[in-house]
């Protein structure tokens, strides 16, 4: 279940003033003529190559109540588009048990986006149906896809009814004002079909996905939840909450019936489990790369860069891995700049957390990394050097990059083998003023500042 884990952290980055440029001097998205063309292509799957998509998680736990959030996000989408984002992930948008105070993870009426007076309010915590529709339209007009947070494992807010399968009263009688997808004890566990789905969840009434009524209303009917979200509300894809609670076949059948990008929240650090779930959806869905998330914490906060060489979902299946540094549930990585430099230059589909981008970190530095990703990063990955404090990797495409992560207390330099022979290269983060020329055999010496990073590519981009 959703938790509010917001771990306070301090950010201390030491730079050599003689070697570093001001943030305003860093390469910016608008400096590239390629950006406009990159934006024209919708990103419905993670791309490992040049111009790969970047997602914004456009909320955090306990965003301000009062029905203002849709308009807050709407006011930012144009700038996010300019920065190079491809998509936004919105919180669960329909009416939940706690009405105007709910973050949406206790869903009651899947068709009430703030237009029915029920559960103590008309608007949701985030705003009205009209405001949500306007936000989605504005996002599309700015070249951004919009992903819905789908909570289909459990429901909340039902009335009490006698349940013959438990021989007691249960809160399983749902009669939403939308008049769609009413539910009773037959649609939850335990019932006449079985005691539970493939997973178990005990806090709220647990939907039974083997019931035809539930399948019909979630994704099979012409007015099913998924099809209504896609065809009427105009969502482009789905973030499935708590997919441990039901079989991977549910997401497979949903996406096959409805379409759109999909990513599942399978909270497990075991890459075999993550890859197995993706395969279980018949690869209709990506998964958040929790294996990468926990390895980054060990690498950057535990002074053990060797962990970056461990197995991760993006290394197994880069087109189906969504990487992240923090989200509304968990925020444990302290050295976030290194983590973002890692995921924004690595394969997979990186997701940036709203508070990191808008409040806690330097937007200029993150925009610079996004620009690098959209203009320079391509190809497969080759590890060039790793020790406790340093990690250097090469992306082998055209033009490709060399990323140098340095978690030590001093500037570091290394000779490495680049992508380029007899070619001038530079650091596109602006941290190093070096402009070396690679040797005929492609070798070159590069550097990185303490507790920071550099990203090197051919001069001229």
Catalytic residues: 241, 265
Residue keyed to tokens 């990703």? 373
Parallel/antiparallel/unpaired status of strands 443-448 and 412-417 = antiparallel
- Taking the C-alpha atoms of residue 135 and residue 69, their distance in angstroms, rounded to an integer, is 10
- Taking the C-alpha atoms of residue 79 and residue 70, their distance in angstroms, rounded to an integer, is 15
For residues 12 and 451, is the Cβ–Cβ distance under 8 A? yes
Residue keyed to tokens 């033009």? 399
- Taking the C-alpha atoms of residue 103 and residue 95, their distance in angstroms, rounded to an integer, is 9
Distances in whole angstroms, Cα of residue 237 to Cα of each of 142, 254, 263, 308, 360: 17, 11, 8, 30, 28
- Taking the C-alpha atoms of residue 242 and residue 56, their distance in angstroms, rounded to an integer, is 20
CA 310 to chain centre: 21
- Taking the C-alpha atoms of residue 298 and residue 142, their distance in angstroms, rounded to an integer, is 37
For residues 252 and 274, is the Cβ–Cβ distance under 8 A? no
**3-state SS class at 155:** coil
In which element (H, E) is residue 95 found? strand 95-96
* DSSP class of 94: S
Is 216 one of the annotated binding-site residues? yes
In which element (H, E) is residue 239 found? strand 237-240
CA 60-66-70 angle, 5° bins: 55
| 209, two tokens | 């996905």
Residues annotated in the binding site for Ca(2+), as ranges?
Answer: 153, 216
Residues annotated in the binding site, as ranges?
Answer: 153, 216
């Amino acid at each position: 279940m959703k938790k509010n884990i917001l771990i306070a952290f301090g950010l201390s980055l030491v730079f050599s003033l003689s070697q570093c440029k001001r943030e305003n001097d860093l390469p910016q998205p608008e400096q590239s003529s390629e950006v406009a063309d990159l934006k024209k292509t919708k990103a419905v799957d993670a791309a490992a190559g040049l111009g790969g998509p970047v997602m914004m998680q456009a909320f955090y736990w306990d965003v301000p109540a009062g029905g203002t959030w849709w308009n807050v996000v709407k006011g930012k989408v144009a700038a996010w588009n300019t920065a190079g984002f491809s998509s936004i992930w919105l919180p669960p948008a329909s009416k939940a048990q706690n009405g105007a105070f709910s973050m949406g993870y206790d869903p009651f009426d899947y068709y009430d986006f703030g237009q029915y007076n029920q559960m103590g309010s008309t608007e949701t915590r985030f705003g009205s149906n009209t405001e949500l529709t306007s936000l989605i339209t504005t996002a599309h007009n700015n070249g951004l896809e919009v992903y819905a947070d789908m909570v289909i494992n459990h429901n909340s807010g039902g009335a009490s009814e006698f349940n013959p399968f438990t021989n007691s009263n249960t809160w399983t009688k749902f009669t939403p004002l939308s008049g769609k997808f009413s539910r009773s004890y037959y649609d939850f566990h335990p019932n006449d079909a079985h005691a539970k789905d493939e997973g178990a969840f005990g806090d709220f009434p647990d939907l039974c996905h083997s019931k035809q009524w539930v399948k019909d209303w979630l994704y099979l009917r012409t007015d099913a939840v998924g099809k209504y979200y896609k065809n009427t509300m105009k969502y482009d894809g789905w973030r499935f909450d708590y997919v441990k609670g039901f079989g991977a076949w549910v997401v497979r059948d949903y996406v096959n019936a409805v379409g759109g990008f999909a990513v599942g929240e399978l909270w497990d650090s075991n890459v075999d489990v993550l890859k197995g779930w993706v395969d279980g959806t018949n690869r209709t869905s990506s998964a958040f790369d929790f294996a990468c998330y926990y390895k980054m914490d060990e690498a950057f906060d535990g002074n053990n860069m060797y962990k970056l060489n461990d197995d991760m979902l993006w290394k197994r299946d880069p087109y189906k891995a969504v990487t992240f540094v923090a989200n509304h549930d968990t925020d444990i990585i302290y050295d976030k700049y290194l983590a973002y430099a890692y995921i924004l230059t690595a394969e997979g589909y990186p997701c940036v957390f709203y508070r990191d981008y808008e409040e806690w970190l330097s937007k200029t530095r993150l925009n610079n990394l996004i620009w690098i990703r959209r203009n320079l990063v391509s190809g497969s990955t080759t590890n060039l050097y790793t020790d406790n404090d340093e990690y250097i990797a090469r992306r082998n495409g055209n033009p490709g990059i060399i990323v140098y992560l340095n978690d030590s207390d001093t500037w570091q330099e290394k000779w490495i083998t680049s992508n380029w022979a007899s070619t001038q290269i530079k650091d596109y983060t602006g941290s190093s003023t070096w402009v070396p020329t690679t040797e005929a055999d492609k070798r070159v010496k590069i550097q990185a500042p303490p507790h920071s990073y550099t990203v090197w590519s051919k001069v001229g981009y």
